[in-house]
Amino acid sequence: MKTLAVTCGDAAGIGPELAVRAMGVPPETWGARLAVYGGAGLLRRVAGFAGLAWPDGVAVVAPGEAWPENGHVVVSGDDDAAVESATPGRVQAVCGERALAWVRAAVRDVLSGRARALVTAPVNKLSMRMAGAEFPGHTELLAHLTGVPWGDVRMMFWSERLRVVLETIHVPLAEAPRMLDRAHLARTIRMAAAAAGPRVGVLALNPHAGEGGMFGREELEILEPAIAEARAGGLDVSGPLVPDTAFCWLGQGGDSPHDVWVAMHHDQGLIPFKMAAFHEGVNVTLGLPFIRTSPDHGTAFDLAWQGRANPGSFFAAIRLAAPA
């Protein structure tokens, strides 16, 4: 049976609870068994706080140790004892340090072929920064660990109803316009089409799609040439589309006019996406040498270890990765 590597994310968030819940689902139901990277002591403590029974048949193995042929496993090392006394709902450097370590270990095992794909629970960017990480998020960290240039990976948010790819990711809004580049955007459009379908809707950056340059020249100088290049390559690309009307169909009960949308900055794409599919949405990293999925939400510190975390998005991330 194929194996999915699953990381617990920030120990003080809802990731450990989601991992315990996922291990409570039989491998046959997932179509894969889970190798969960996180402290076994932490996971048992979180299960107790959350009122969850410890799943039957879960083996605990040390990093590098052979895995049993069947059943879910927890990959837990001596260093993981450091987070067993973590405080839920608080930013802590130790949680960032272990979250980084779990991702590194999981990536090594996926690259070596021990696991087929990677599913990551949410991390807290500040706790990772406190632990010395130089990366603003999972996407950039995974690019580094796999040797892929940052400019060659993209974030796609997937659901049955709506799919969105981001042109810029974790940057201040003021920097997003300065980061737009014709060649980069043309590649984003091609990657979006390859991942989700040939009909691509490209959102404008400025109000009224720039109004012929009155409200900004990015549409004229960057977006339109990139769209023309993608069309010349045979893709069915529309845009630049006025952002404030592009998603009216969501409120009208209709179907998306495009297979996938390309947004110029983080919130432009994620506000409509999370309105449409918050508990079913999946974050997919495009451009890596393996499949990586994640829920479309954060660590939810206010819900940590309480048995209240909605597993819908995390479970959707597992289901999407399982056929890999």
Does residue 66 sit in helix, strand or coil?
coil
What is the structure's pLDDT at 25? 98
Q: Are 219 and 203 in contact (CB under 8 A)?
A: no
Parallel, antiparallel or unpaired: strands 291-295 and 117-120: parallel
| DSSP secondary structure string for all residues of 132-179 | T---SSHHHHHHHHHT--GGG-EEEEE-SS-EEEESS-SS-GGGHHHH
Parallel, antiparallel or unpaired: strands 163-166 and 154-158: antiparallel
Q: Which parts of the chain sit beneath pLDDT 70?
A: none
C-alpha 122/C-alpha 7 separation (Å) is: 9
Can you give the pTM of this predicted structure? 0.95
C-alpha 57/C-alpha 76 separation (Å) is: 16
- Taking alpha carbons only, the member of 148, 171, 129, 159 closest to residue 10 is 129
Q: What is the dihedral of CA 275, 281, 285, 291, to 10 degrees?
A: -170
What is the structure's pLDDT at 204? 98
Q: Are 305 and 271 in contact (CB under 8 A)?
A: no
What is the structure's pLDDT at 69? 87
What is the structure's pLDDT at 61? 97
Q: Are 124 and 11 in contact (CB under 8 A)?
A: no
Q: What is the pLDDT of residues 159-197, one digit of tens each?
A: 999 999 999 988 899 999 999 999 999 999 999 999 999
- Taking alpha carbons only, the member of 269, 181, 186, 284 closest to residue 235 is 186
What is the structure's pLDDT at 137? 84
C-alpha 313/C-alpha 206 separation (Å) is: 31
- Taking alpha carbons only, the member of 52, 2, 51, 49 closest to residue 22 is 52
C-alpha 323/C-alpha 267 separation (Å) is: 30
Which domains can be identified in the chain, with CATH numbers? 3-150+289-321 (3.40.718.10), 154-275 (3.40.718.10)
Longest dimension (CA), the chain: 64
What is the structure's pLDDT at 254? 82
What is the structure's pLDDT at 320? 97
Q: What is the dihedral of CA 290, 296, 298, 303, to 10 degrees?
A: -120
Q: What is the dihedral of CA 213, 219, 225, 228, to 10 degrees?
A: -110
| DSSP secondary structure string for all residues of 180-240 | --HHHHHHHHHHHHHHH-SEEEEE-SSGGGGGGGTT-SHIIIIIHHHHHHHHHTT-EEEEE
Determine the angle formed by the axes of helices 312-321 and 15-23, rounding to 10 degrees: 60
C-alpha 122/C-alpha 137 separation (Å) is: 10
What is the structure's pLDDT at 135? 85
Two tokens, residue 250: 């969501």
- How distant, in Å, are the alpha carbons of 191, 198, 230, 231 from that of 234? 13, 9, 7, 5
C-alpha 88/C-alpha 80 separation (Å) is: 16
Q: What φ, ψ does residue 175 adopt, rounded to 5°?
A: -90, -20
Q: Are 239 and 193 in contact (CB under 8 A)?
A: no
C-alpha 102/C-alpha 109 separation (Å) is: 11
What is the structure's pLDDT at 252? 87
What is the structure's pLDDT at 134? 86
